[in-house]
């Protein structure tokens, strides 16, 4: 078998007769020169076999092969010496570039080189800018690029200054906000129709982290309440747990009341009854009703296209028979994500799908009666959920704001109907910002 293995060059065909040029040894020399371009480690493995690949019958070809090997070793040595000189030149150029780079950075400074900053990083404002921002409007709609926390939107058209701090990941999110100037440090959260206190778990965590005391109430027939929603016959009965909470407050204690969805009508009921115990009222995509208006009246103002979608999601329950009015409204679980939670994490959608309960129908059709003396004396703020809210679309929120104007409106972009799931950090910042607003001076 060893006799059958031969090194064959590309110019040779084993079935063809050898041309006359093979006999004189020139073919062997030409073959080795072509393979001299192969790296040295391949030369060491191939050359022993190549020495016998040409004409091995003449002593002249052997002498030519030995001379050729010597020339290859000399050439390899020259190439190695040339590569060493090239590497030295590259090292010198690298050191020179490094000296130029660090010469632009002040000594004894921890600042980074003046590269253009990324659009994905947010930096804090200088102290002067933060003070200037704090005296301006806190409305997200009026001053979208400023905030009382000293945050500023990142920009790709300004180079970082040597005085700009270098932030670590999540540093802004973990930064504790100062709440010493807040009128009250207690929040009360009211869930929307079908929800429960469970939906506020992210908001509770974030607010408590910043030093607030937070209470989330389960309305009658919601959350852990065992009451049958089909047996709720009035708005007062539905909000009874919230009213009981206000009865337990100290006489001089005030809270910031927050409501979502149908919880807006519930908190309005409490605002009329306990105006002295509520510092501020915050409506989050919530039913902010005018006097003598019901929640059903409000939702009947929606366009027909959105109304059709609402009919598909909501399922009426008739505990007293279909000849009588509905007693509650349940949800088609297969449409919850598209209608309520199209921007929320899957785990929160799963939580809602197993936790949501029917909405009592009687409180939805009951007209709310509020007065300017009580309800009107409380400072109101509205947080608008923007394009992705199909439960309470922007057009309906604008209609409520126009007919019953609050003190200030905040736009929460990128949120669905449940910002406590889809945009918890942004919602938390707005809530804390509103809490820091100083009390209005009495005229």
3-state secondary structure the chain: CHHHCCCCCCCCCCCCCCCHHHCCCHHHHHHHHHHHHCCHHHHHHHHHHHCCCCCCCCHHHHHHHHHHHHHHHHHHHHHHHHHHHHHHHHHHHHHHHHHHHHHCCCCCCCCCCCCECCCCCCCECCHHHHHHHHCCCCCCCCCCCCCCCCECCCCCCCECCCCCCCCCCCHHHHCCCCCCCCCCCEEEEECCCCCCHHHHHHHHHHHHHCCCEEEEECCCCCCCCCCCHHHCCCHHHHCHHHHHHHHCCCCCCCEEEEEECCHHHHHHHHHHHCHHHEEEEEEECCCCCCCCECHHHHHCCCCHHHHHHHHHHEEEECCCCCCCCCCEEEECHHHHHHHCCCCCCHHHHHHHHHHCCCEEHHHHHCCECCCCCCHHHCEEEEEEECCCCCCCCHHHHHHHHHHCCCCEEEEECCCCCCHHHHCHHHHHHHHHHHHCCCCCCCC
Residues with catalytic function = 261, 389, 417
**pLDDT, tens only, 36-73:** 333 333 333 333 333 334 444 444 444 455 555 555 66
pLDDT at residue 18 in the model:
42
Region at 221 (left for phi over 0; alpha for psi -120 to 50; beta for the rest): left
Question: 2-6, 244-248, 407-411: which range is least confident on average?
Answer: 2-6
In sequence order, the 6+-apart residues with CB closer than 8 A to the CB of 379 are: 279, 280, 281, 407, 437, 440
**Beta bridge partner(s), residue 258:** 189, 282
Does residue 424 carry a pLDDT above 70?
yes
pTM score: 0.62
Give the dihedral sign, CA 307/408/200/154. positive
Mean pLDDT for 214-232 is: 97
Mean pLDDT for 4-32 is: 42
pLDDT at residue 413 in the model:
92
Does residue 362 carry a pLDDT above 50?
yes
Confidence of residue 388 (pLDDT cuts 50, 70, 90): confident
User: Which range, 14-28, 273-287, 289-303, 382-396, has the best average confidence (pLDDT)?
Assistant: 273-287
Q: Burial-class residue 222 by CB neighbours within 10 Å (0-12, 13-18, 19+).
A: buried
**pLDDT, tens only, 245-265:** 999 999 999 999 999 999 999
Mean of pLDDT over the chain: 74
User: Which range, 12-21, 143-152, 291-300, has the best average confidence (pLDDT)?
Assistant: 291-300
Confidence of residue 386 (pLDDT cuts 50, 70, 90): confident
Closest Cα partner for 188 from 218, 224, 217? 217
The pairing of strands 255-260 and 186-190 is parallel
Does residue 130 carry a pLDDT above 90?
no
Does residue 338 carry a pLDDT above 70?
yes
Region at 208 (left for phi over 0; alpha for psi -120 to 50; beta for the rest): alpha
Structure tokens, 10: 């590309």
Instruction: List own/partner pairs for 138-147 with CB under 8 A and 24 or more apart.
Output: 138/408, 138/433, 138/434, 138/437, 139/408, 139/409, 139/410, 140/410, 140/411, 140/412, 140/430, 141/409, 141/410, 141/411, 144/411, 147/429, 147/433
Tell me which of 226 and 123 has the higher pLDDT. Answer: 226
- Residue 385 CA to residue 375 CA, distance in Å, equals 24
Confidence of residue 98 (pLDDT cuts 50, 70, 90): low
Mean pLDDT for 70-80 is: 60
Tell me which of 205 and 130 has the higher pLDDT. Answer: 205
pLDDT at residue 300 in the model:
83
Does residue 146 carry a pLDDT above 80?
no
Mean pLDDT for 4-9 is: 41
Does residue 323 carry a pLDDT above 80?
yes
């Amino acid at each position: 078998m060893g006799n059958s293995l031969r090194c064959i060059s590309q110019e040779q065909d084993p079935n063809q007769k050898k041309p006359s040029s093979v006999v004189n040894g020139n073919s062997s020399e030409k073959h080795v020169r072509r393979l001299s371009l192969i790296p040295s480690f391949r030369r060491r493995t191939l050359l022993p076999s190549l020495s016998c690949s040409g004409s091995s019958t003449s002593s002249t070809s052997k002498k030519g092969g030995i001379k050729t090997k010597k020339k290859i070793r000399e050439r390899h040595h020259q190439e190695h010496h040339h590569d060493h000189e090239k590497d030295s030149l590259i090292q010198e150029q690298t050191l020179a570039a490094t000296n130029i780079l660090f010469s632009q950075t002040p000594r004894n400074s921890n600042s980074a080189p003046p590269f253009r900053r990324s659009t994905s990083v947010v930096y804090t404002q200088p102290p002067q800018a933060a003070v200037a921002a704090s005296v301006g409007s806190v409305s997200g709609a009026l001053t979208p690029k400023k905030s009382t926390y000293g945050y500023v939107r990142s920009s790709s058209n300004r180079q970082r200054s040597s005085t700009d701090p270098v932030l670590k990941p999540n540093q802004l999110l973990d930064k504790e906000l100062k709440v010493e100037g807040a009128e009250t440090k207690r929040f009360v959260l009211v869930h929307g129709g079908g929800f429960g206190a469970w939906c506020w778990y992210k908001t509770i965590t974030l607010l408590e982290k910043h030093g607030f005391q937070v209470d989330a109430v389960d309305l009658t027939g919601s959350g852990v309440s065992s009451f049958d929603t089909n047996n709720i016959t009035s708005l007062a009965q539905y909000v009874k747990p919230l009213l009981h909470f206000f009865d337990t407050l100290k006489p001089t204690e005030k809270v910031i009341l927050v409501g979502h969805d149908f919880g807006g009508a519930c908190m309005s009921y409490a605002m009329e009854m306990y105006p002295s115990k509520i510092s501020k009222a915050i409506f989050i995509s919530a039913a902010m009703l005018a006097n003598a208006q019901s929640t059903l009246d409000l939702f009947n103002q929606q366009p027909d296209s959105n109304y059709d979608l609402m009919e598909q999601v909501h399922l009426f329950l008739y505990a007293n028979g279909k000849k009588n009015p509905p007693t509650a409204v349940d949800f088609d679980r297969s449409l919850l994500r598209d209608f309520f939670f199209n921007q929320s994490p899957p785990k929160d959608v799963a939580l809602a799908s197993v936790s949501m309960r029917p909405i009592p129908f009687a409180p939805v059709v009951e007209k709310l009666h509020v007065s300017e003396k009580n309800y009107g004396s409380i400072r109101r703020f509205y947080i608008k959920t923007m394009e992705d809210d199909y439960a309470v679309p922007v057009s309906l929120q604008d209609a409520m704001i126009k007919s019953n104007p609050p003190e200030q409106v905040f736009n929460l972009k990128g949120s669905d109907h449940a910002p406590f799931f889809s945009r918890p950090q942004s919602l938390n910042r707005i809530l804390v910002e509103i809490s820091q607003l100083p009390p209005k001076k009495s005229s």
